[in-house]
Amino acid sequence: MRTLPFLIPSITFCTSLAAAAATRPNILFIFSDDHAQHAIGVYGSKVNQTPHLDRLARAGVRFNHCFVTNSICTPSRAVVLTGKYSHANGTPVFNVFDGSQPTVPKMLQAAGYHTGMIGKWHLGSMPTGFDRWIILPGQGVYIDPDFLTPHGRVNLKGHISPLTTQLGIEFLETRPK
């Protein structure tokens, strides 16, 4: 069973722009859905080998004692973005997320971070609070996917996992310093 290669991660990259950036951490938030905690090696997988994610987890912050109140796709993403329960952020089911409300990416921007969103958005609206974004329309497809950008739709050739990885690397390499 090779679950991990089929995940469509939503990868939120945040890097600092401010002069005090050297004293503030870079933030890499990886949001993947529809798998159990033990699907990743560092969280106990005996099946999946995830050495790169394991290395990131060992060097950064791990959430070992957390739970979600709405552990499905759109509602869960809205909770992570706003820090509010689903009934309070207006996205208790698969409906359109109201991007006008305060979100973590907007707060990070206000603090001088350069923010980006890459991958599965699945919130029924366009991203707000991100300096750059490239998202999958709806659920997305795994091979030769279309992506939405602020400038329109683009088609990329290949499998979604290496494509989103490469897009993330490009974001990090081309961000303002």
89 in a structural domain = no
Residues 6 or more apart in contact with residue 170 via CB below 8 angstroms: none
Q: Would you call 73 a catalytic residue per the annotation?
A: yes
**Which residues lie across from 108 on neighbouring strands?**
none
In terms of residue numbers, what domain contains 30? Answer: 4-66+112-174
List pLDDT tens digits, range 134-173: 999 988 799 999 999 999 999 999 999 999 999 999 999 9
Please, are residues 62 and 27 in contact by the beta-carbon 8 Å criterion?
Answer: no
| Cα distance between residue 34 and residue 90, in whole Å | 22
101 in a structural domain = no
47 in a structural domain = yes
90 in a structural domain = no
35, 38, 52, 73: the active-site residue: 73
Please, are residues 96 and 125 in contact by the beta-carbon 8 Å criterion?
Answer: yes
Q: What is the pLDDT of residue 22?
A: 61
38, 87, 114, 122: the active-site residue: 122
pTM: 0.80
Go through 146-170 and write b for each residue having 16 or more CB atoms within 10 A of its CB, e for each that does not.
ebbeeeeeeeeeeebbebbbebbee
Q: What are phi and psi of 118, to 5 degrees?
A: -135, 125
List pLDDT tens digits, range 83-99: 999 999 999 888 899 99
